Amino acid sequence: MMKNVSPRDKAKVKNESIEQIRSDLIRPFPKLSWKLIGTLIILSSILSWSISSTEANPQRLVEGVPKLIDFVLRLMPPEFEFTDGSERAIMLPSFEIREISRTPKAERAKKANDEKIAEMTEGQLLFYVLDTASGEPLQVISPEEAAAINPDDVKAIRPYIVDAGFEIVLDDWDESVMVVEEGKNVVNAVPYSDGQMVVAKRYLLEQGEILIGYPTIIDSIIETMQIAIIGTLGAILVSIPFALLAARNISPHPVVYQVTRLFLNVLRSIPTLIWALIMVSAVGLGPFAGVMALIIGSLGSTAKLYAESFEQIDPAQVAAVRATGSNQIQVFNFAVIPQAFPLLATYSLLSFESNVRESSILGIVGAGGVGFIIQKYTSLFQFQRLMGAVIILAIMVTIIDRLSDQIRKRII
């Protein structure tokens, strides 16, 4: 029947086919079919099941925004814990530098009783801290002012005795009752004079000065980097043999392939933090436990990625090298590695970046690194110092990312 079709009809059919293809290509949505409908139903069911289990609710998120903002505000301004002896105050804009040390904390006042009030010596002073029934802020008053207070307006009134040259003040931060020299105030238990400011809850600076020093967390971050470097290198060396056994086109036998894949799956299913707990119990506290945890924890993922890199090589090149009479090691060196190397290098760099982030939390269980410092700041509610640590971590991760990107460009 095709022989009876005229050239015009053939051209018409061809044009219709081209128009149909063009229409299919520019269609914004796929053509509706029973297969597509079934797929959408399955995906919708999975999404609905997941939402119901996770209690995902946009309204709860909106209601939590004020709390989130409040938490972020408590992180500001960032603070740093400096190594003793490294602190310096710089006067701007003259850039005059002076050494500075931690300011001793003020003494908390002790409540006096009637007996101690009766035994007051000459020069000692008596103050009262008034807590009104109306809920107003606490006030420090003199004995004369205390005598004039209406008892009905008093919720509590507490006496305090100080020596000559000292007075009772309320801490600007939490209204704690403190003893300081006359003319001074207190914030976070640190006494300061007019024109001074308290920085990082422990240093006194004059107006126009800024505080610099060597943050203690840098030593922990350096240790974190060292853990990540050694852990990644160890994982790379251990992963290559397992990757060869787990690559479908290189593995010596299907049984070996399946067993190796199963072993790597088991390793990947256990979080690195769990491996850190196991290693701490095995080798004790410290960075070595973190190194071992990273090696074992990243072995499963790294070996799988390496295996997939080996599976993507061109078998024709392998056959060509083997045809020259090369042995297995030579075939691997000259046919497998050159093809897979760009992917191997890329996955190694990604593994290192991932291990840097992993090693930053291993210290929570005693496996070294910056995690211990972060846990300390969190448990002591030192959120501003926590923010300072996060900023330094972010800078470190950014530098590593830029270096890795440059290395990848040179390799690929």
Q: Crossing angle for the helix pair 272-283 and 287-311, nearest 10 degrees?
A: 130
Q: How far apart are CA 291 and CA 355, in angstroms?
A: 10
Q: Does residue 229 or residue 7 have the better pLDDT?
A: 229
pLDDT value at 259 more than 90: yes
Question: What proportion of the chain, given as a percentage, has pLDDT over 70?
Answer: 93
Q: Which of 161, 180, 211 is the last residue of a domain?
A: 211
Q: How far apart are CA 391 and CA 26, in angstroms?
A: 47
Same domain, 226 and 207: no
Question: What proportion of the chain, given as a percentage, has pLDDT over 90?
Answer: 24
Same domain, 112 and 253: no
Sheet with 125-132, strands from edge to edge, namely 139-141, 125-132, 154-162
Q: Which domain holds residue 192?
A: 88-211
Which pTM was predicted?
A: 0.74
Q: Does residue 9 or residue 386 have the better pLDDT?
A: 386
Q: Which of 190, 211, 232 is the last residue of a domain?
A: 211
Same domain, 265 and 400: yes
The confidence band for 5, taking pLDDT boundaries of 50, 70 and 90, is low
Q: Which of 177, 211, 245 is the last residue of a domain?
A: 211
* Mean predicted confidence (pLDDT) in 95-122: 89
The confidence band for 37, taking pLDDT boundaries of 50, 70 and 90, is confident
Sign of the alpha-carbon dihedral angle for 382, 384, 385, 391: positive
Please tell me the predicted confidence (pLDDT) of residue 174: 86
Please tell me the predicted confidence (pLDDT) of residue 1: 45
Q: What is the mean pLDDT of the chain?
A: 86
pLDDT single digits (tens) 178-207: 999 998 999 989 999 988 888 888 888 988
* Mean predicted confidence (pLDDT) in 364-368: 84
Query: What domain count does the chain have?
Result: 2
The confidence band for 7, taking pLDDT boundaries of 50, 70 and 90, is low
